[in-house]
Structure 1
Amino acid sequence: MQQRAVGESGLKVSSLGLGTMTWGRDTDEHEARDQLIAFAEAGGTLVDTAAGYADGASEQLLGSLIGDVMARDEIVLATKAGISRRSGSRQVDTSRRGLLDGLEASLRRLGTDHVDLWQVHVWSDETPLEETLATLDHAVTTGRARYVGISNYAGWQTAQAATWQRAVPGRARLVSTQVQYSLLAREVEYDVVPAAEALGLGIFPWSPLAGGVLTGKYRTGTPSDSRGARSDFAGRVDAYLDERGRGIVEAVARAADGLGWTAQQVALAWVRDRPLVTAPIVGARTAAQLQSALGVVDLTLPAEIASALDDVSAD
């Protein structure tokens, strides 16, 4: 698998990242192990998790596999802090206390003394931005994080945070931003992508398959065993199945038929090779699903097809 620099930093990661949001919840330890083995065999290095995934169970499960399936120095280990669940409800805390407590807990669950990329999971108006960013500086200077980034920041938020970190020598520069980005969700191209380009950040798209919609599995209905059949996920799938969305899905399916690829491979190849994208974060419930996605590793979308998909998916 190709190795790419993360923005203008010296950090290099594989051109696909392994997402672990379902680990410890929908993905058990056996499937997780098989996923990590398949990812490593394909040359993957970037594994992304978060303190908020399955209330820490994702990190716990990943930590149990590090050193067994992959050596620690073979993994670019990325996690996120700032979101947790307390008393059954989602809580956002990007304060110095909240972030550092979260980092310490993440390191314990992961069984390591540092992460390679530590990301603020979400913007919060409740904490001064300077406090949040100073906490990233502290994590780097104390050796608990090698690089730092952000996630789910709007364009102006990205520009403000990255500019603040570049303003004074010695601050830990932001190297990446993780955002929703796919053929069905291109809004980041208007503000986040220009900000990332101006300030040297790499982009990690999450949900590059739009919750599975771009695989085509919802073209004729909702499979009973899919996430789209679950009450907590159905709304997200349904939002993509309007007239525009169905047109994009059909265009991807036609491209796949013409190339002899899967629709999944077409959609992943498109977003993987967009300007400034470092690596899409690919999540899968099963090892079989991940193996299918890894089939894109040696594929490059022909320019004329990429251009046609650009046109059909443009707002």
Structure 2
Amino acid sequence: MEQRHLGRTGLRVSRLGLGTLTWGRDTDEHDAAQQLKAFWDAGGTLVDTADVYGGGEAEYLLGRLVADKALVPRRDLVISTKAGSVPDPDRRTDGSRGHLLAALDASLARLGTDYVDLWQLHAFDPCTPLEESLQALDIAVSTGRARYVGVSDFCGWQLAKAGTWQLSGERTRLAGTQMEYSLLQRGVEREVLPAALDLGIGLLPSSPLGRGVLTGKYRYGTPADSRGGSETLAPFVEPYLDDTASRIVDAVSTAADGLATTPLQVALAWVRDRPGVTAPIIGARNAQQLTAALSVESLSLPDEICRALDDVSAPVHRYPDHDWSTL
């Protein structure tokens, strides 16, 4: 698999990443092992997790699989994890330096490793000064617990502020930022992506298949074994089952028919090759789904297909709401 630099750093990662959101919850150890082996066999290196995935079980499971050297050697993987999200209905994030560093140590223990290759703030904490949260990133690098650092789910001004702050003094520059991005969710193009491009921060798109909708599986109903058919995850999928999304999915399916490939491959290739994107993060329920996604490696969309998909999925930006050229 092709390797790309993450942002303006020396860290090289596979241009597709493996997500572990469901590991330890919907994906058991057997299925996780099959996924990791298939990903590694395809040349994949970037594995994305977080301290809250599965209540910590995702990290623990990944650590067990990596510890088994017969499966995948630790040195062959770029392990990325996150800290800052907390299971507290009154406070969804905790970006305090103390919490973040304690969470990192706990992640390292579950992963069974002395360091992670990429450590990210999972979300912006409005209750903690941003400089304090960012200081935790610097400490993690200076103490060898993290090789590179980044952020996740920061909006445009938050990313611009954090990225600029980290470029001053002896601080560690941000390597990457993670944010939802697909043909069904192009909001990052308004401010997040321009900020990332300007600051040399690589984008790691999450939900690149529009929460599974872009595969076309929901065109004629909701499969019982899908996320949309799950009581827990149905609200996650539902926003992308409207008429606008349906038109985009139809266009993706038409393009797939013309290229003799699948809607999954078309949608994934589109986001993978967007300017500023380093590696979309793929979340699969089993190795079969993952293998289908990994087969996109040989696909490059023709320019006319990209333009057609750009047009049909173009977001409506109503801000700024003034046409300054007429003033």
Q: TM exceeds 0.5? A: yes
What secondary structure does 2:195 align onto?
helix
Residue 228 of structure 2 aligns to which amino acid in structure 1?
G
**Counterpart contact for 2:67–2:112, Cα < 8 Å:** no
Q: CA deviation at 1:174?
A: 0.5
TM-score (norm 1): 0.97
2:255 matches 1:255:
yes
What secondary structure does 1:213 align onto?
helix
Residues 266-289 of structure 1: per-residue CA shift (max 9 Å, x gap): 000000000010000001011111
Partner of 1:134: 135
Partner of 1:274: 274
Partner of 2:215: 215
Residues 32-83 of structure 1: per-residue CA shift (max 9 Å, x gap): 0000010001000000000010110000000000042211110001000011
Q: Take 2:23 and 2:303, find their aligned partners in 1: how far apart are those partners? A: 36
Q: Take 2:107 and 2:149, find their aligned partners in 1: how far apart are those partners? A: 15
TM-score (norm 2): 0.94
What secondary structure does 1:275 align onto?
coil
Q: Take 2:81 and 2:39, find their aligned partners in 1: how far apart are those partners? A: 18
Q: Take 2:297 and 2:112, find their aligned partners in 1: how far apart are those partners? A: 30
What stretches of structure 2 of length at least 5 have no aligned partner?
Answer: 316-327
Q: CA deviation at 1:89?
A: 7.9
**Counterpart contact for 1:55–1:84, Cα < 8 Å:** no
Partner of 1:83: 85
| Same amino acid, percent of matched pairs | 60
Q: CA deviation at 1:90?
A: 7.1
What secondary structure does 1:167 align onto?
coil
Q: CA deviation at 1:235?
A: 2.3
Q: CA deviation at 1:232?
A: 2.6
Cα 1:48–1:309 shift into 2, 3 Å: same
Q: Take 1:228 and 1:66, find their aligned partners in 2: how far apart are those partners? A: 31
- Deviating runs (4+, > 4 A) in structure 1? none
Q: Take 1:84 and 1:270, find their aligned partners in 2: how far apart are those partners? A: 33
Q: Take 2:235 and 2:107, find their aligned partners in 1: how far apart are those partners? A: 30
Q: Take 1:72 and 1:97, find their aligned partners in 2: how far apart are those partners? A: 28
**Counterpart contact for 2:17–2:44, Cα < 8 Å:** yes
2:70 matches 1:66:
no
Q: CA deviation at 1:84?
A: 2.8
Q: CA deviation at 1:231?
A: 2.4
**Counterpart contact for 1:51–1:84, Cα < 8 Å:** no
Partner of 2:325: none
Partner of 1:156: 157
Partner of 1:294: 294
Q: CA deviation at 1:91?
A: 3.7
RMSD (Å) for aligned C-alpha atoms: 1.1
